[in-house]
Structure 1
Amino acid sequence: MTETADELSAPLGQTEKRRRRRIRLPITVLQALAIILGLFLVVFVGFALFSDNPLGGEPVARVAINEGVKPDDKAAVKPEAKSNANADHGAAAAKQEGGERKTVTIIDGSSGARQEVAIGAGGETAEPGSAAAASQMPGVDPRLLEKSRYGMIPVMADGVKPFTAYAADADRAKAARMPAIAIVIGGLGVGAAKTVDAIMKLPPAVTLAFTPYGSDPTKLAERARTQRHEILLQVPMEPYDYPDNDPGPQTLLSTLGPDQNIDRLFWHMSRLQGYVGIGNFMGARFVATEAAMQPIVNEAAKRGLALFDDGAAPRSVAASLATGRAMPFAKGDVAIDAVPTPVEIDSALAKLESLAKERGVAVGTASALPVSIDRIGTWIKGLDRKGILLVPLTTAMLKSKSN
């Protein structure tokens, strides 16, 4: 009774309760799960953005090199792991020559073409941009390379020029006797799909021009040369509306000194190998400025390269400067897909035919738009019956020089 009376007489809120208090968590279980998932997403996105793995997502094949293989052992060493079946290139086998030089046979998934690519001692691939890496590129002559601070760049050696060494095969005697047309497809390297379309859908006589940009211009340039196309390096140059219209990093500028522009030229030159010459990528102001253009032409001539002007700048001084250095030169006569419709492209190709018959040789330029590739490919099939020969750009340059 006493306890009951005490409870009844005690002030409100001060009653002593013997039962245990309930513990309440600051967050619910669902909130905790949401926080954990959020942290996981942040870590995943951070890894994707800042991880230094430029080949992430690409098919990879690891090849084991048996150090004990003898020169007379004909058994191929099998790859440890298979690459993705959809990859353009797959490692088929590896072999060791003379107990020192090791190679991997690469099979092109589109054409079935096979090529031997050397790898460094102990199964290590050569460092990109190094002399060893350049010497492993199919068809690239290591004698025609020298080291710059950006990587390997072309050079003339032992009287051999890159222009001569990397020119595509052509019947030059036949080209001298009949009208000839060269086609240059430019802007390649950025956009692997359209670049591969140009490489695979157009015949080897079509010359392909690569910009120095893109994730792997070297790989695409190698593929083009494997398909027997000759290639050009397009060097980004200053247009009249620069910087509103910016060709890209390391653009050659008329406001820079010769040493600065030559340094930028070397950066572009180091991005791929095996090209016969250089051409302008945009650059209407630069190619019209003799003081800026002269050192570039001199450097290209000294290195045994040709010069190509796409013909877009009416005031270009490229032709006169190239003539002064007696270097191979050509200028685009017709921009085939200036208006990218089937009717206008066909009209431009007809104009190109007329010029070739009138002057003996003509050069057309185009981009790798699907409609351009389609119309040019169809047009090429009918050239023989028109008495016109499709030739690589180098052959057109030599024919123009002899005329």
Structure 2
Amino acid sequence: MDDLNAPLGKNLPPKKGATKTPPSRSGSKAFPVLLGAIFLGVLALNIYTFLEQNKDTQTLVVRLPEPEPVEVAEEKADPQAQKPDVEVVYGQPDANIGQEPAAPVAAERETITEVSPGGPRIITIRDPQVTEIGQPEGERHLPVQNALEDTSAGKLPQRTDDGRRPVDIYARPWSNAGGKRIAIVIGGLGLSQTGTQRALDQLPPEITLAFAPTGNSLDRWMRVARKKGHELLMQVPMEPFNYPQVNPGPRTLRLASSPETNLENLQWAMARMTNYSGITNYLGARFMNDQQSMEKVMEELGERGLLFFNDGSSGTAGNLAADAARERVPYASGNLIIDGSNSPDAIRAKLKALESLAEARGSAIGSGSALELTVKTVAEWANQAKKNGFEIVGIAALTNDPERQR
């Protein structure tokens, strides 16, 4: 029975001599190959077309988003930060004599100098191998014993065995930074207990105080003033032109007196107090213009290591500067008397004039009395002047010192 006539679904035995061929798998393998070839061909064609259309070198630019601006708070200058609470001043060469003490000090000494509001609190660190300016903070009210001489007049200042002078020991330290410096000397301390207390309460420590030898409780006032940081002077009464109608007081240095008497009176005044850097005249226009009389005064000051301040009430007073230099005396002369008129506006005008002088010359010196109005006006001015860039210094800082210039 042939296949056409065979019943469906029946498995017939193979014909004799016929070989059964398994189904071919070549079709299933060829299809992926063909598909890959087509893909590669299309890709090659696209690349060729791209290169033909873009033969120039292409640069790929990648743009990144710009960072968002960050607001930074503007740092404002702190006016107080511009004037630090502490100013450290290291071994200024001009601030020392340059003489080595007999025995070296083991370590550097640190002096803290008090100032009133508006100025820095100065810490002065000095080379221990040279003569120092000023005393350590806790010792300013104590006399340096080897800087004192026992005499019939009392204890007088003198140079120490190791070369230090009272002007160096008892001067108020200064920064030596240059700039605009002003010294103010207020005299008449000690005459009035109330006035002296008021001056010590109100005046900033940068102000130099001059004590009258006829004042009361001078040793007590000295200790208070020195603890507060003031530099001190001793006033010496000297003969004015219209003496005795204008009388400076007992033990006045006079032209009619012998050199021995004047020296005795000078030493009496100098022995009334300790811990001062020098002397200043009280009146004295006539006496100070006599060169022979002043030579004796300068000789005594030079031997003892004290400064001389001419308060300006007697003018230039002849050859005082030359006499002082010859006797190795630090010397300064006042530029203006600030309280010649009993008016706050007039005093402020004088203080403003001192500022102008300091701006033009680098330094200026004013003098006045311990009157209530003067003290109040100077105290107000000093604090503002420091905020305006002026350095208020003790009188020793502005002297012409022959020994310091060597």
Assess same fold via TM > 0.5: yes
2:160 to 154, 157, 161: 157
1:398 shift after superposition = 5.7
Call closer, same or farther: CA 1:207–1:315 in 2, change over 3 Å: closer
1:383 alignment partner, SS class: helix
1:143 to 146, 149, 173: 146
Contact 2:141–2:222 at 8 Å: present in 1 too?
no
Contact 1:247–1:281 at 8 Å: present in 2 too?
yes
Higher relative contact order (CA 8 A, sep 6+): 2
Residue 381 of structure 1 corresponds to which residue in structure 2?
383
Alignment of 1:2-401 (within 5 A): 138-158=141-161, 159-172=163-176, 174=177, 176=178, 178-317=179-318, 318-397=320-399
1 CA distance for matches of 2:141 and 2:335? 32
1:215 alignment partner, SS class: coil
Tell me the amino acid that sits aligned with residue 375 of structure 2. I
Contact 1:238–1:286 at 8 Å: present in 2 too?
yes
2 CA distance for matches of 1:312 and 1:191? 22
The C-alpha deviation readout for 1:153-204, integer Å capped at 9, x for no partner, is 11112201000011113212x2x2x110000001111001111221221111
Q: Which moved more, 1:185-194 or 1:316-325?
A: 316-325
The C-alpha deviation readout for 1:127-167, integer Å capped at 9, x for no partner, is xxxxxxxxx99321010111121211111122010000111
In structure 1, runs of 5+ residues without a counterpart are 1-135
Call closer, same or farther: CA 1:334–1:137 in 2, change over 3 Å: closer
In structure 2, runs of 5+ residues without a counterpart are 1-138
Aligned length: 264
The C-alpha deviation readout for 1:315-356, integer Å capped at 9, x for no partner, is 513222112223211111011111020110111011100111
2 CA distance for matches of 1:375 and 1:225? 22
1:247 shift after superposition = 0.8
Call closer, same or farther: CA 1:399–1:346 in 2, change over 3 Å: farther
1 CA distance for matches of 2:376 and 2:310? 24
1 CA distance for matches of 2:398 and 2:239? 27
TM, length-normalised to structure 1: 0.63
2 CA distance for matches of 1:300 and 1:225? 22
1 CA distance for matches of 2:250 and 2:151? 18
1:236 alignment partner, SS class: strand
Q: Which has the larger radius of gyration?
A: 2
The C-alpha deviation readout for 1:191-234, integer Å capped at 9, x for no partner, is 01111221221111110001101222222122111111010001
Contact 2:298–2:329 at 8 Å: present in 1 too?
no
1:399 shift after superposition = 8.8
Sequence identity percentage: 36
Call closer, same or farther: CA 1:248–1:351 in 2, change over 3 Å: same
